[in-house]
Amino acid sequence: MASGDHAGRLGEEFFTPGSSSFTEFLAAHRPELLSTRRVLPDGVRAQGAPHGTTVLALTYGNGVLIAGDRRATMGNLIAQRDLEKVHPADDHTAVAFAGSVGLALDLVKLYQVELNHFEKIEGIPMTLTAKATRLATMIRNNLGQAMQGLAVVPLLAGYDPAAPEGGRGRIFGFDVAGGRYEKYGFHAEGSGSPYARGALKKLFRPGMSRREATLTALQALYDAADDDSATGGPDLTRRIYPVVSVITGDGYERLSEAETEELSREMAEQRRGRPDGPNAGV
């Protein structure tokens, strides 16, 4: 990105006062590097691009859990069986996505840089609300491509140390136009989200342990896969399981493959006797 007269020297743009947003910096000086700014020609709609499907989040005892299935589809075809849809944004925030896979992965990487850049420039991390607002702005910048079929719908979960005790796990959902909505208790996005939200509404309760929250998330993803062909359930033969991560005061942690496999097999065994899943607690 150097544009100075001497090779190897930074250009003047690096020394010009501006905002602490890395995205705005790129938009001003190298907009061609922003995938969210590239719009297809008029009248062209994207077809056949891989799409990620169901992701969800729920709060529990001392944090928040975020999870996603592993399937990406391309029309009626399975494009990938082991896609990673849940990513850490920083030490206490994670983002998961549904929608166009290529754009979503670019958006996640840019968002990670955005948060890191802000902290280096300002000397302090963003508040969780500010992180959600910044992500909403980045989604809004993709509106042109979303209207042509390349939509990205992320889900943001984080631990907010400034929130009251018992409410520090927070969840934010978004729409394709960049609308930001805080969700309480649980939320899901993607093609299987109506079924996942139905399961979460039935099984969620405040104050769950991490293990209970993980089983609830796996049950919800199983229900989504049961009714939505684009969502992949636990693949016991290939040993491909949902990605499950938790965020607490200790930071972001992805559950190990061994733990996710153990709980997925436990849940699948429960389904043998009750294929439609557990009943809601009374």
Nearest-angstrom CA–CA distance, 170 and 128: 8
Q: Is 23 a catalytic residue?
A: no
Q: Are 109 and 156 in contact (CB under 8 A)?
A: no
Cα–Cα dist 204/35, whole Å: 37
Q: Compute CA distances 26 → 14, 141, 205, 234, 253, whole Å.
A: 11, 13, 43, 40, 31
Altogether, the residues listed in the chain come to a count of 282
Helix 210-227 vs helix 257-273: angle between axes, to the nearest 10 degrees? 60
As a whole number of angstroms, the distance between CA 54 and CA 130 comes to 25
Which string of DSSP letters, residue by residue, matches 143-189? HHHHTTT--EEEEEEEE-TTSPTT--EEEEEE-TT--EEEESSEEEE
Q: Give φ, ψ of 88 to 5 degrees.
A: -70, 135
Among residues 23, 36, 53, 59, which one is catalytic? 53
Amino acid letter at 46?
Answer: A
- Please identify every residue annotated as catalytic: 53
